[in-house]
Amino acid sequence: MPIERNADLKPYHTFGVSARAAALAGFASEAELRALLNEPTLLGLDRLILGGGSNLLFTRDWPGVVLRNDVPGIEVLSEDDERVTVRAGAGTVWHDLVLHTVAQGWGGLENMSLIPGRVGAGPMQNIGAYGTELKDHFDHLEALRISDGEVIRFSKTECRFGYRESFFKREGRDRFVIMRVAFTLNKRPQVNVGYGSIKSELEKRGIASPTIRDVSDAVIAIRSSKLPDFRVLGNAGSFFKNPTVPATEADRIKRILPDLVTFPGEHGTVKLAAGQLIEKAGWKGFRENGYGVHKDQALVLVNHGGATGGQIFDLSTRVLESVRERFGVELEREVNIF
Ligand code: FAD
Ligand code: NAP
């Protein structure tokens, strides 16, 4: 991809808001990325690494350069009778990787079918869905250090994965470009169907002993029926993270909201469903001008057409404030704001 100046970013992200970048370029290898990092006309500009643009919101024109990760490929690194380690280029579409592994009969990623975006962004927030997180099957990743162009290998521990968290979302942000990600998958897979909606979808289909393909198909069906298609209604998935609170805090909120939904969180905390809190604060289906809160899923802010990123960001602030006021719970944005 040649360097495009004053580039329109609308085709490159899923919220559908208007934004331009001073420059936009793609890279498919370490050599191409290093060349862009050293390109004299781009030196000194802020850099934004882009995948599929499904977890970000542009609230203004980007005054720097957007570098799109197009590193391709899926390859097997090692295998035995039980397991296979497969590595994918960061530019691979995440769902294509999932479908590839499911077709081979390699279990592990099937619950994360149809998550939009590219492989390289997966470790950023340790993507997860329907009871599985990326970290559960992660082997290692390779990331290029921007300061000197060196490629560093990161183990699972070094990535410091947490609930929608990682080293790359915190200290590593703007310092590393994830180039390839490797997963260890199971050739004799055990399916994970503990998540309520998967169980009921499989029951509806009359499947008692599901294969990983059955699970993948079930997840695809649930997601397609429940989540807005960003090609039709701009969005970036869940705008907020599910908050985790101490058990005593959950008890306090239960006194205000007796049907409070809770799940076990990390380190003995209690995970709340942010969608429920937003809905109970009255936002589900809210619509104003071109933006709003999705009618079926209150965690998803939407662009009905013509909204600006700034308007959607302001709406997210109003939602945050009202949940704080009503329940004393501090929501945190999951979407990356630029
Ligand atoms: P982008 O939006 O392009 O980038 C996201 C962030 O990662 C940015 O800060 C960017 O700078 C950085 N980044 C991207 N690539 C790299 C790289 N190679 N190296 C370093 N930094 C990088 N997420 C879930 O976890 N679970 C879900 O179930 C889920 N469902 C979704 C449903 C819908 C309808 C939508 C629109 C989104 C959903 N998401 C979900 C959010 C999103 O799909 C994921 O976070 C996904 O991993 C983002 O990938 P992307 O390539 O689009 O990243
Ligand atoms: P849902 O099934 O209506 O459940 C609401 C929330 O309760 C979810 O956020 C989920 O937390 C939690 N939950 C439900 N059952 C659970 C269980 N058995 N164990 C632990 N936690 C449970 O959620 P949904 O909105 O339709 O989403 C379904 C799945 O897709 C969720 O895993 C969600 O994270 C994922 N998703 C993510 C995004 C995103 O952008 N991040 C967008 C759409 C869907 P968790 O979120 O921790 O799983």
Q: Total structural domains in the chain? A: 3
Establish if 227 belongs to a structural domain: no
Ligand 2 nearest-atom number relative to CA 195:
18
| Tokens matching residue 152 | 């560093």
Domain CATH number, residue 27: 3.30.43.10
Q: Where are the beta strands (DSSP E) in the chain?
A: 4-8, 20-27, 47-50, 56-57, 62-69, 74-79, 83-89, 128-129, 132-133, 138-145, 151-155, 176-186, 244-245, 262-264, 270-272, 287-288, 291-293, 301-303, 336-337
Residues 62, 81 within the same domain:
no
pLDDT tens, residue by residue, 2-61: 999 999 999 999 999 999 999 999 999 999 999 999 999 999 999 999 999 999 999 999
Active-site annotation holds for 209: no
Give me the helix-helix angle, 196-204 and 212-226, nearest 10°.
Answer: 100
Shared-domain flag, residues 24 and 86: no
Which domain-ending residue is among 69, 85, 104? 69
Please state whether the predicted TM-score (pTM) of the whole model is above 0.85: yes
CA nearest to 157, candidates 171, 140, 169: 140
Q: Is 164 a catalytic residue?
A: yes
Structure tokens at 60: 């203004």
Q: How does pLDDT run across 73-109, given as a tens digit for each residue? A: 999 999 999 999 999 999 999 999 999 999 999 999 9
Domain span including residue 127: 74-186
Q: How far apart are CA 50 and CA 106, in angstroms?
A: 28
Amino acid at 88: A
Assigned domain for 217 exists: no
| Whether residue 274 has pLDDT greater than 80 | yes
Q: Give the closest residue (by CA) to ligand 2 atom 47.
A: 242
Q: H-type helices in 165-211, by residue range? A: 196-204
Q: Is the same domain home to 116 and 166?
A: yes
Q: What share of the chain is helix, strand, coil (3-state, %, to 5)?
A: 30, 30, 40
